[in-house]
């Protein structure tokens, strides 16, 4: 029978070896602690051997004593782990814990979720992602790309766009400027600069974060911040200038990111989210989807988002307030 324990730093390496995603890495927990959030790391042992890990962050609700827990991109906790999570949630005055397993949908039945006492919740992470298989040869991957994408790669190369990995502080600060220029232009909500700086300061030395730049005549046209963790490359952040769009720098940068992933011995490249199959052209993220689609990834659907409700009454009130808050944030982003 599985036994649930709290994990301490002496088991950091074992914890990371079992973590299913960068958001479950020990270093991501350190980053969240630097932001002032409480982090609890749990493990399931069978016969004294660690078999699964869960990293939960608790986020205080402003002006209140209550908190919300978040367990992103872990395995699906079993009944013993869910019971332990509920106890931990109560100790931390959590209204609920949001759970988003890093598990493909068809591998778990809905009735198995119901048995755990979880309810469907509002998504924080996207339900879909696109994944490129990196275990194929470079030639096989290139031949699988859409013809227009291959053409744009060659166009960027022909016009002298160069891709470099540059993990210097100077390069990161340039990337950050470009990131906020991009989000302002597109009208999307983004974390503040301090969030990105703290993340970089912790994940870069751990070998998780890598910065790839697309340059033309020494000017940065596009930048990708990539995560490399447990044999998977991830594309969480991208930025590009509105200048010289005709040089197709982001397309070449994505291709070189694929080659970078192969060099790092990654088996797959997770493009960090996508929208549902066959989206309408007026979808706000259709442009991102079309860009990723050019690289012929496999669209993958995850299990979804579930809430472990600890305080049912406050849970209803919280959901009403959260809906209003996001309406205001989206409105601000458009102004």
Sorted by where each starts, the structural domains of the chain and their CATH numbers stand as: 3-125+302-334 (3.40.630.30), 128-301 (3.40.630.30)
Tens of pLDDT, residues 69-97: 999 999 999 999 999 999 999 999 999 99
Secondary structure class of 102 (helix, strand, coil): coil
| pLDDT on residue 110 | 75
| pLDDT on residue 323 | 82
Evaluate if residue 289 carries a pLDDT over 90.
yes
Closest CA to 21 of 229, 298, 333, 256: 229
The maximal CA–CA distance of the chain, rounded, in angstroms, is 62
What is the rounded average pLDDT of the residues 42-46?
A: 95
Q: 305: how many CB neighbours lie within 10 A of its CB?
A: 20
Report how far residue 31's alpha carbon sits from residue 16's, in angstroms, rounded to the nearest whole number.
Answer: 15
Cβ proximity of 66 and 314 under 8 Å: yes
Tens of pLDDT, residues 189-227: 779 999 999 999 999 999 999 999 999 999 999 999 999
Evaluate if residue 61 carries a pLDDT over 80.
yes
Going by pLDDT thresholds of 50, 70 and 90, the confidence category of residue 184 is confident
Cβ proximity of 228 and 203 under 8 Å: no
| pLDDT on residue 203 | 98
| pLDDT on residue 138 | 98
Evaluate if residue 53 carries a pLDDT over 80.
yes
C-alpha distances in Å from residue 62, one per residue of 86, 90, 170, 250:
22, 18, 34, 39
Left (φ > 0), alpha (ψ -120 to 50) or beta: where does 43 sit?
beta
What proportion of the chain, given as a percentage, has pLDDT over 70?
A: 98
What is the rounded average pLDDT of the residues 253-273?
A: 98
CA R_g for the chain:
21
Q: 148: how many CB neighbours lie within 10 A of its CB?
A: 10
* Token pair of 51 as six digits: 């078999």
Evaluate if residue 188 carries a pLDDT over 90.
no
pTM score of the predicted model: 0.93
What is the rounded average pLDDT of the residues 140-166?
A: 98
What proportion of the chain, given as a percentage, has pLDDT over 90?
A: 87
Using CA of residue 31, residue 170, residue 266, residue 215, what is the dihedral sign?
Answer: positive
Evaluate if residue 186 carries a pLDDT over 90.
no
For 268, phi and psi rounded to 5 degrees? -150, 165
| pLDDT on residue 333 | 62
Report how far residue 83's alpha carbon sits from residue 77's, in angstroms, rounded to the nearest whole number.
Answer: 9
Going by pLDDT thresholds of 50, 70 and 90, the confidence category of residue 111 is confident
C-alpha distances in Å from residue 1, one per residue of 47, 51, 55, 110, 116:
8, 12, 21, 24, 17
| pLDDT on residue 329 | 66
Q: 250: how many CB neighbours lie within 10 A of its CB?
A: 21
Evaluate if residue 326 carries a pLDDT over 90.
no
């Amino acid at each position: 029978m599985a036994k649930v324990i709290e994990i301490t730093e002496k088991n950091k390496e074992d914890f990371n070896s079992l973590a299913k995603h960068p958001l479950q890495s020990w270093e991501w927990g350190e980053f969240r602690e630097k932001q002032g959030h409480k982090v609890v790391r749990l493990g399931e042992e069978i016969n004294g051997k660690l078999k699964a890990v869960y990293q939960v962050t608790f986020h205080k609700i402003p002006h209140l004593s209550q908190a919300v827990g978040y367990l992103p991109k872990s395995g699906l906790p079993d009944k013993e782990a869910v019971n332990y999570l509920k106890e931990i949630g109560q100790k931390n005055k959590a209204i609920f814990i949001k759970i988003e397993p890093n598990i493909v949908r068809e591998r778990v039945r809905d009735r198995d979720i119901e048995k755990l006492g979880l309810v469907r919740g509002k998504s924080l992470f996207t339900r879909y992602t696109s994944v490129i298989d990196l275990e194929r040869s470079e030639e096989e991957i290139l031949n699988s790309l859409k013809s227009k994408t291959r053409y744009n790669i060659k166009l960027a190369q022909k016009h002298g766009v160069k891709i470099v990995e540059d993990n210097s502080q100077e390069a990161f600060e340039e990337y950050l400027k470009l990131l906020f220029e991009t989000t302002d232009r597109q009208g999307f909500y983004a974390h503040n600069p301090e969030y990105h700086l703290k993340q970089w300061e912790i994940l870069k030395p751990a070998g998780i974060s890598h910065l790839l730049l697309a340059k033309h005549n020494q000017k940065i046209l596009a930048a990708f911040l990539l995560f490399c963790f447990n044999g998977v490359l991830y594309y969480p952040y991208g930025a590009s200038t509105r200048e010289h769009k005709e040089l197709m720098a982001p397309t070449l940068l994505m291709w070189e990111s694929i080659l970078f992933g192969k060099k790092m011995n990654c088996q797959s490249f997770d493009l960090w989210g996508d929208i549902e199959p066959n989206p309408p052209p007026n979808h706000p993220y259709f442009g991102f989807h079309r860009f990723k689609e050019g690289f012929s990834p496999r669209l993958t659907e995850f299990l979804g988002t579930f809430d472990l409700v600890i305080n049912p009454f406050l849970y209803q009130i919280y959901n009403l307030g959260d809906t209003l808050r996001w309406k205001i944030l989206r409105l601000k982003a458009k102004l």
